[in-house]
Chains A and B, each alone.
Chain A
Amino acid sequence: MCGIVGLFLKDKSLEPQLGDMLTDMLITMTDRGPDSAGIAIYGGDSKGKAKLTVQSDTPDVDFKKLDNDLRKEIDGKVEMTIKDTHAVLEVKASELDAARAALTTLRPRVRLMSRGESLEIYKEVGLPKDVADRFELRQMSGSHGIGHTRMATESAVTTMGAHPFNTGLDQCLVHNGSLSNHNSLRRKLRREGVHIETENDTEVGAAYLTWKMMNGATLGEALDSSLDDLDGFFTFVVGTKDGFGVVRDPIACKPAVMAETDQYVAFGSEYRALVNLPGIDEARVWEPEPATVYFWSHNATPTAQEKAA
């Protein structure tokens, strides 16, 4: 099964409550997947800074003086915020790649959850309620975010198998469904030089989008071509710095429901996830069409582009 939630705020006054609203939505979806949970949250203006969110199974060891060690390797300040097994390292935007490279030698066991100017990804094995508590997700503010609760079908229940997956700078992907051609696609992408860490099907989907965009496709184009190249069942929700997008495979048996008001656009695997949002009784509620790419952005008008099945 798996449960997905997403919230894109139009009303800035709701931004301090984003983490709280998204956490409630995610907890409602717990019985769709109790294995692991994660959340991607987009904060406000980055002011020339960028963030690496990293994870360690031994945070006491790995995060000890990590900011000091990293500062010696790159230009400018390093600010570290530790939250349980995760740490957010804030550096000058121009030093992001250098910081990422330095991390692999400084702390080889540390895993990269996300990189970007406004994106932070937190994910762990466990119930949404517990994961949200560990990372204090309710206290987070932001302009939009995506959450996922997982019922594993294709690979092991591990932190790296949890969603969201970081697909590129400030981009992430969550998935409900199962891809059936992920093994052949993984081999193909690895031959193309794309790094894929696990045996997880969604990671391959995320890597596929990353690879398409590395080769010049826009996110919309990458999602469009995913309908041709990915085999299996999927409802994808993707996040970018400016907004979020939704696409379902042409069979569309994985559920999806959306709601829109003047204040927000919300996504849920089920309507249950949306029932406590403000003004939901007056919201426009609908089911996204199969094989259609939807996108909402803070900087552009919403789009819904149908792709022939």
Chain B
Amino acid sequence: MQTFDLEAQGLRELNATLHAQATDTNQTVWDIVNPKGSHAIAVGLDAPIEVNVKGSTGYYCAGMNKQATVHVHGSAGPGVAENMMSGTVIVEGDASQYAGATGHGGTLIIKGNASSRCGISMKGIDIIVHGNIGHMSAFMAQSGNIVVCGDAGDALGDSCYEARFFVRGSVKSLGADCIEKEMRPEHIELLTELLERGGCDAKPEEFKRYGSARQLYNFDVDNAAAY
């Protein structure tokens, strides 16, 4: 295991060191100490390494991640795992605004709560939240899954496309064109796998599914006044 003291060695050296790891590196486990809410920790990784951040992070931790597993042992600031392509990001505490925004793939697991705009414009990422998510989550979500073991805030899934949202608790309000949908066997199967991947102690039968009503896809003359 490699240990990196962020306070002593600096952010640029950290990210350059992690970027230098090849796919077949032997240095597969990294511990980052003294993160102290710093921005852009472990961004742009592209190797199957495991990075443990020992504390809370600031803006954009693990952004653009590919292949790597980034584990934040604390809370994460705005934009954690933004635009993730693959790999896994785990946040032990809470995540601030727009967690997993625009993510194309991989898995984001938040053990606490996520704040507003979680999964905004997501494009294939799976986001699994043990607690609650805030308002405007999954705005314009295109594909992928959000699992919420707690409650969802206002305007869930506003103007969403083909992403799926599974919520166990209450939904404060649904956004435009987002509706509750039937839970069919294939959804139970999918959710079972997601809950297992996220380490959630919840039964798939306790969840409701939400998604697009597909009414905003095409121009509708009756809606002309709203455009």
Contacts and interface: CB of A to CB of B under 8 A. Distances in A.
B75 A285 contact: yes
Given A275-B36, A309-B154, A290 B135 contact: yes
Contacts of B154: 309
Interface residues of B, number: 19
B115 interface: yes
A72 B15 CA distance: 66
Contact of A290 (B36, B58, B59, B116): B116
B212 interface: no
User: Which label, helix, strand, loop or mixed, suits the secondary structure of the A interface?
Assistant: loop
Interface string B141-165: 0000000000000100000000000
Interface residues of A, number: 17
Given A255-B97, A270-B58, A287-B96, A275 B37 contact: yes
B94 interface: yes
A272 B135 CA distance: 24
B37 A255 contact: no
A279 B154 CA distance: 34
Given A255-B96, A287-B94, A270 B116 contact: no
Contacts of B56: 271, 275, 285
Nearest to A256: B96
Residue among A271, A272, A274, A309 with the highest chain B CB neighbour number at 10 A: A271
Interface string B68-86: 0000000101100000000
A272 to B, nearest CB: 4
A59 to B, nearest CB: 38
B116 A252 contact: yes
Contacts of B77: 255, 257, 270-271
Nearest to A287: B115
B38 interface: yes
B37 A271 contact: yes
Interface of B: 36-38, 56, 58-59, 75, 77-78, 93-94, 96-97, 115-116, 134-136, 154
17 contacts: A252-B97, A252-B116, A255-B78, A255-B96, A270-B58, A270-B77, A271-B75, A271-B77, A272-B38, A274-B37, A275-B56, A285-B75, A285-B93, A286-B94, A287-B115, A290-B116, A309-B135
